[in-house]
Amino acid sequence: MQQVAVVTGGGSGLGREMALALAAAGFQVTVTGRTEAKLRETAEAAAGVAAVGAAGVGEVRTAVLDVVDGAAVAAFFGSLERIDLLVNNAGTGAPSAAVQDVTEEDWRRVVDTNLTGSFLCAQAAFALMLRQQPSGGRIINNGSISAHTPRPNSIAYTASKHAISGLTKSLELEGRAHGITCGQIDIGNAATSMTAKMGAGVLQPDGSIAVEPTFDPRIVADFVVRIAQLPTDVAVPTLMVMAAGMPFVGRG
């Protein structure tokens, strides 16, 4: 039976790479996001791979979805007959700002998208995994190395990613009895539009500006596929993938 995957935030960046890699591995994939044109680009990229004769490439479908809209999330997952894998990838950041300058609007937008959106999708997927036959499945949350160590002026993003770690552990714990596993990939500086600024230098804790290395996001997608292909009696609670040479390790 072909496995079914949903990748949120699948219209660009890491989400697109994850969706393409899962489709190449034979999954039937639905990508969700707020921008239909971007989602179509992901589906067309997958169709292009299939058109050149790659064997076993799965279909990529699209669904416009704002993960902070609880009713829309419930309706989307309610329309699915089955889900074997949810990749909670949708997320956002906020402008760099000191604690005293962070607006309530920016705080709520980041926490609502990164944390509440991930919870709503995980909750709906979890419920479907419980009632489908055969039951069970896997959830992979996109964390960040910010789930461990913050960057300067990033309190909303950092708090949301620390909270994702708690969400992941709770889902894994509650899923044990039902064949549902949950893990987290903590990513550092995968080369996407969000990390393009690294090449010009970014603020460091000591006040300096330093260029930081990045790495091919397809490597992250390969890890997602490998985890997704594991039997559900194997858990991968956390996996960190980062560019070698990042200042995350060590002092400075």
Sheet holding 28-33, edge to edge: 60-64, 28-33, 4-8, 85-88, 137-142, 180-188, 238-242
Short-list 65, 66, 67, 171, CA closest to 115 = 67
Alpha carbons 180 and 172: distance in angstroms, whole number: 7
Amino acid identity at 35? T
Task: Based on the residue annotation, tell me whether 157 is a catalytic residue of this protein.
Answer: yes
Short-list 76, 163, 170, CA closest to 125 = 76
Tokens in use for 34?
């707020």
Short-list 19, 23, 47, 46, CA closest to 33 = 19
- For residue 235, the tally of other CB atoms under 10 A from its CB is 15
Short-list 215, 243, 239, CA closest to 227 = 239
Query: Catalytic pick from 76, 157, 215, 223?
Result: 157
Question: Which active-site residues does the annotation give?
Answer: 157
